[in-house]
A and B are shown apart, each in its own frame.
Chain A
């Protein structure tokens, strides 16, 4: 059982490869996508398995913020951590507004990233737990 199922999105494949190796070594199940569109495709295929998406803000084509909105619209329970090149309050706020869990400055310490990912996945699991409980309550109430 891995720590969490991750999806890593960045246009730099070299970055993706290394990060995948490093995170896999830390017992994460990592999938990668080199663009926003590819990320959405992967989520469509095995949508509910993915718990946390690590998303670069600056990408050609569909950029980080657009991809974030799209992910949040289709899979509201998936948590997203933004990786940003420039740690501006403005871009952070924008990411948060669109439902990102947190943001990190690139390049970042792997330990920080792992910590955030763990928090995010925990949050996601808590959410799912609550939803299951709510549903169960509903069902039991209906049965009663």
Chain B
């Protein structure tokens, strides 16, 4: 029985697990597919948007800076052509020109200088004492003297401050000279540094060699080569970008953050405006959306799991209950079918026996009739004959009584609900079972409360309960004999009866199983283990209760409580008002 119960428990466990898994899968798959699609679409569109936004921004600023440079160049070109070499060679004139320019454009142009073909500064106007400086060794001079217009990279130069110059070449008597203007680095720097986005987005300019053309920012990579690599890569990978489309690049920096770079080319590809921002910052909304989605997923997942757990548990319990009920019902059906067939058998036997008995009785009667004739009256054994025949007749009639009892028992195996007195039933059964009890040295006493109301139930079923309980009580009592007491009484709306024996009692470990189907302590073939489970089923079906108390060595007591049917309830003694 235990292994069977174990198999059953395993079955419900696996059923529970399967339901759980099914519910979780069915709930999670759509959630994950849906979430995945939404995430993909959202991420793609959002990424595109951010890239487009950054590209536009960089493009705009690159254009702006380029325009700034071009304008300054144009200013300086027009200045260079405005006057002659002789006029510019005059320091005072040059100062006057510088003053005019600074009035017109602000302090963007810091100073002016005229340099002859040998790199000697002929005249100078500006805040530094650079008259007579010689630039013949400067790199910018060599570039400038060989081209019409030259804009240098930013360099420290003689003055020891970052600056860059625009130089215009002109010819005087076939000899080249340069008109040089210094562009204020600060003004230019501010223009670039005004570009920033979010918390980490900023911009700077580098030249082809990776040298900074604007102030170094603390957020920048320590290794400047990395930027130059981006730059050169930009140009070699996609020369088309020399036009104006910005270029993207991103990589993991040493500090595990992904950083995006957007590069726009300036100054005909000599410089690049690079915008740098942490990926996390640029896509902060995306990250936030991701966090929200993840949180939702986690919460949803938890609730799905909880629900799946609850549903699977609940379903398994319900199925187990239904199975148990079904099993008990099946057994009751089998049992009642069994009883019905026993009943039919008994009825058949009763009929078949009845006829021969009747014939025997009649034959005996016929002999008695004949004995009344004269010639027999003299017989010496007359008294003995008469006694024997009387006995035959008497025993025949006894047989008839037995068969009639058998028949009336057989007829009763039905499920119809009737009103009947429990005391009568108990008396009848006690009488029937008394013989069996006597063989086992068991005495049965009844303590019945005669004022009990009728109960409404199937008499056969209550009979079955009583039979089972009394038989169990007899079985619990060993050969030395014992005592069974059956009581009935009423307690509120319940009719109660109990069967108390002085048998062996039930150990505590068995006590919780005694109503389980197929639980038996009797040897194989003696008990089916169904009796008490059927009793339990019957009593529960009648909205009743069955209680067991047992002490090992002292005996057991089974108490049954059945509700008093409403029709039998005492009506309220209320003479004052009758409301119908």
Question: Could you list which residues of chain A lie within 8 angstroms of chain B, going by C-beta atoms?
Answer: 12, 14-15, 18-19, 21-22, 25, 58, 85-88, 105-107, 110
Cα–Cα, bound, A12→B360 (Å): 12
Given contacts A18-B363, A85-B351, contact A106 B358 (CB under 8 A): yes
Q: Is B290 an interface residue (CB 8 A)?
A: no
Quick check: B350 and A86 within 8 Å, CB to CB? yes
Q: Given the complex, which residues of B lie within 8 Å of A15, measured CB to CB?
A: 355, 358-359, 362
Residue-wise, chain B 349-379 has the 8 Å CB interface mask toward A (1 for contact) of: 0110011011111110110010000000000
The answer to whether A19 touches B350, judged by C-beta atoms less than 8 angstroms apart, is: no
Give bound CA distance, A86 to B363, whole Å. Answer: 21
Q: Does B407 contact A (CB under 8 A)?
A: yes
Q: Which residue of B lies closest to A18 (CB)?
A: B362
B404 touching A86 by the CB < 8 A rule? yes
Q: Let me know if A22 and B362 touch, CB within 8 A.
A: yes
**Contact at B369–A25, with CB atoms within 8 Å?**
yes
- Are B359 and A105 touching (Cβ within 8 A)? no
Q: Which of chain A's residues have a CB closer than 8 A to the CB of B400?
A: 105-107
The answer for the CA separation of A42 and B544 in the assembled complex, in Å, is 61
B366 touches A12 (CB 8 A): no
Q: Chain B: residues with CB nearer than 8 A to chain A?
A: 347, 350-351, 354-355, 357-363, 365-366, 369, 396-397, 400, 403-404, 407-408, 411
A14-B359, A107-B396 known; A22+B351 contact, CB < 8 A = no
Residues of B within 8 A of A110 (CB): 362, 365, 369
- Chain B residues with Cβ under 8 A from A86's Cβ? 347, 350-351, 403-404, 407-408
Neighbouring B residues of A85 by C-beta, 8 Å: 350-351, 354-355, 403
User: Which 10 residue pairs across A and B have the least CB separation, nearest first?
Assistant: A107-B358, A107-B361, A18-B362, A85-B354, A86-B407, A15-B359, A106-B358, A14-B359, A18-B366, A110-B365
* A-side contacts of B366, CB under 8 Å: 18, 21-22
A84 CB → nearest B CB, Å: 10
A73 to B382 Cα, complex, angstroms: 49
Cα(A74)–Cα(B449), bound, Å: 55
8 contacts between A and B (CB under 8 A): A14-B363, A19-B362, A21-B369, A86-B350, A86-B404, A105-B404, A106-B358, A110-B369
Q: What is the bound-complex CA distance between A106 and B396, given in angstroms?
A: 10
C-alpha spacing A88/B347, complex, angstroms: 12
Q: Which of A19, A58, A87 contacts B351 (CB 8 A)?
A: A58
Nearest-CB residue, chain A, relative to B373: A25
Q: Is the CB of B365 within 8 A of A106?
A: no
**Cβ-closest chain A residue relative to B355:** A12
B355: chain A residues at CB < 8 Å are 12, 15, 85, 106
For A21, list chain B residues within 8 Å (CB). Answer: 366, 369
Beyond A15-B362, A106-B358, list 14 extra A-B contacts (CB 8 Å). Answer: A12-B358, A18-B362, A18-B365, A18-B366, A85-B351, A86-B347, A86-B350, A86-B404, A88-B408, A105-B404, A107-B357, A107-B358, A107-B397, A107-B400
Q: A12-B355, A107-B358, A107-B397 are in contact. Are A87 and B404 (CB under 8 A)?
A: yes
Distance between Cα atoms of A15 and B366 in the complex (Å): 11
Tell me the bound Cα distance from A72 to B365 in angstroms.
Answer: 31
Q: Are A106 and B363 in contact (CB under 8 A)?
A: no
Most buried by B among A85, A86, A106, A107: A107
| B404 cross-chain contacts in A, Cβ below 8 A | 86-87, 105
Q: Residues of B contacting A106 with CB < 8 Å?
A: 354-355, 358, 400
Residues in A with CB closer than 8 Å to B360 are: 107
With A105-B404, A107-B400 known as contacts, the answer to whether A18 contacts B350 (CB < 8 A) is no
Residues of A within 8 A of B411 (CB): 88
Q: Is the CB of A22 within 8 A of B369?
A: yes
CA distance A54 to B400 in the complex (A): 19
Distance to closest chain B CB from A42 (angstroms): 21
Cα A87 to Cα B407 in complex, Å, equals: 9
Complex CA distance for A25 and B367, rounded to whole angstroms: 12
Minimum Cβ distance to chain A for residue B414 (Å): 13
